[in-house]
Structure 1
Amino acid sequence: MLVKNNEWFSQPKNHCANCPSARYCLAHGLSDGEVAQFSRKIKHPRPRHKGEKFFMMGDSFNSFAMVHSGCVKSYVTSRGGEHQIIGFYMPGDILGLDGIASGEHRYTAEALETTSICELAFRDYEDLCNCAPSLQWRLLDALSQKMVAEQKMLLMLGKMTSEQRLANFLLDLSSCMAARGMSAQTISLPMSRSDIANYLGLVIETVSRLFSRFQVEGVLTVQRRIIGISDRTRLQAIAYNNCEDYCELDRVA
């Protein structure tokens, strides 16, 4: 369960039709009537602030959610209490699908900043698919994209240097921002250097050193969490140096 029953807050009628995030929502492309039905099934828990959880590893699964605003990180926790970050979720990304097969969530989802979600019970999603079959393809598309991203991450961790990992991470974030109508040249990082290092399988000192080096070399401008891409061609060259296979993955994604 993503939220408790007493945590809903009200939304205006037909809120999905008027939502500024509609263009990258699961319901994008549905007819007006289908959007109205979809909207009636959506629930809106209170926003989570930095460090608050939407659900935890081991919680029962009965719903999933679209990130409406903010950013979420997902991580697994070892028996020894160590965390490994396995993903970041931006507006439009679907959160919580990990529990479909087993009936429980396999990771913890934590807000990196004030974050709001649109929650849909899985049984309601199944009902909606009967009247809006394209929802099935939208979800399959999201799952397919997730699989490609995970394949790329495995290749990054197994084959890429630290420089290539960070360059790829920044290019992926830039593309994500551009797809959501934001600047592709200036990235406001919602995650810390420590989170980035954990996700990329590096130590924080390496990530900090690389940011400094890329700035000295004129590839980036760095002002705390505001990253400017000064030389995209050079950043791409770093990311894909002798890595033609990764370029193919980016074209698929």
Structure 2
Amino acid sequence: MPHRALQIACSRCSLRELCMPVDISAADMERLDTLVTTRRRVKRGKPLYSRGDRFSALYAIRSGFFKTRVTASDGREQVTGFQMAGEIMGLDGIVSDEHTCDALALEDAEVCEMPYDRIESLSREVPALQTHVHKIMSREIVRDHGVMLLLGSMRAEERVASFLMNLLQRLHVRGFSEAELVLRMTREEIGSYLGLTLETVSRTFSRFADEGLIEVKHRQVRILDGAGLQTIVDSAGSRR
């Protein structure tokens, strides 16, 4: 793809406010346009990068869903996160110059590749970029703390309710429905992320449906009582 086409797409991309600094000058935006050197398409089930790969770039998800996972020495896999359009991936590689997890596409996806040496260089010219990268790193730390809370103190129904409400909020920011979502991940992958068995996740979904909180049709979930789900999430905090 010609570089000029990339520039136009980056400047006018509907996800710009999610993955690029806001309130910057036109001149600085022109500089940031040069960040994206390549667009990569990743087929469903294929890796964007794998553990041990050399770290060289950050990736802004343009379309599609990903999951990140780590594998223990005995072969057990642990899902560590789900990422969607407008979010940045690859931060795990900064500390050691190699990736520490696998990033796999849950559906056909496209990412914008931003070489990290170029990010560092431009950060000296555009301070807003450096601030933005720091905010992204901080957000990842906060998210990790949230996962620790999920795994450490929440009951099964609180974990699933929190997962659904978080996913719904993230999708709504991107213009999707406030009440409906399509789960790109399997129940087993949700369980791995939440520290629950497949049976527990399925049973909790069924319970929520029986109680009129959600309606489930295969991977389509409709939120019927968001306030009720939020009450379940809040009940975890009331015990602390």
The answer to whether TM tops 0.5 is: yes
Matched residue, 1:180: 174
- TM-score under structure 2 length normalisation: 0.94
- TM-score under structure 1 length normalisation: 0.89
Query: Is 2:113 aligned against 1:119?
Result: yes
- 1:194-213 matched pairs, under 5 angstroms: 194-213=188-207
Change (3 A) 1:220 1:83: same
**Aligned residue identity for 1:41:** L
Q: 1:242 deviation in Å?
A: 4.2
Matched residue, 2:64: 70
Number of residues paired by the alignment? 238
Summarize deviations over 1:110-163 as a string: whole Å, max 9, x none.
Answer: 000111111111110011112210111111111111111111111110111000
Assess if the C-alpha contact under 8 Å between 1:26 and 1:66 holds in 2: no
Q: 1:14 deviation in Å?
A: 2.5
Matched residue, 1:225: 219
Q: 1:244 deviation in Å?
A: 4.2
Gap regions ≥5 residues in structure 2: none
> Is the partner of 1:148 in helix, strand or coil?
helix
Structure 1 stretches of at least 4 aligned residues deviating more than 6 Å after TM superposition: none
Change (3 A) 1:157 1:61: same
Matched residue, 1:46: 40
Tell me the distance in 2 between the aligned counterparts of 1:114 and 1:27.
Answer: 27
Tell me the distance in 2 between the aligned counterparts of 1:140 and 1:157.
Answer: 26
- Report the more deviating stretch, 227-236 or 13-22: 13-22
- Report the more deviating stretch, 36-45 or 90-99: 36-45
Matched residue, 2:126: 132
Gap regions ≥5 residues in structure 1: 1-8, 247-253
Q: 1:21 aligns with which of 15, 36, 40?
A: 15
> Is the partner of 2:78 in helix, strand or coil?
strand
Query: Is 2:75 aligned against 1:91?
Result: no
Assess if the C-alpha contact under 8 Å between 2:57 and 2:115 holds in 1: yes
Tell me the distance in 2 between the aligned counterparts of 1:233 and 1:49.
Answer: 37
Matched residue, 1:168: 162
Tell me the distance in 1 between the aligned counterparts of 2:37 and 2:64.
Answer: 17
Matched residue, 1:5: none
Tell me the distance in 1 between the aligned counterparts of 2:24 and 2:100.
Answer: 30
Assess if the C-alpha contact under 8 Å between 1:16 and 1:36 holds in 2: no
Assess if the C-alpha contact under 8 Å between 2:43 and 2:108 holds in 1: yes
Of Structure 1 and Structure 2, the greater strand share is in 2
**Aligned residue identity for 1:160:** M
Root mean square deviation, CA, Å: 1.6
Tell me the distance in 1 between the aligned counterparts of 2:204 and 2:236.
Answer: 19
Q: 1:172 deviation in Å?
A: 0.3
Change (3 A) 1:241 1:75: same
> Is the partner of 1:47 in helix, strand or coil?
strand
Tell me the distance in 1 between the aligned counterparts of 2:239 and 2:150.
Answer: 11
Query: Is 2:184 aligned against 1:190?
Result: yes
Tell me the distance in 2 between the aligned counterparts of 1:190 and 1:142.
Answer: 23
Assess if the C-alpha contact under 8 Å between 2:158 and 2:236 holds in 1: no
Q: 2:104 aligns with which of 90, 106, 110?
A: 110
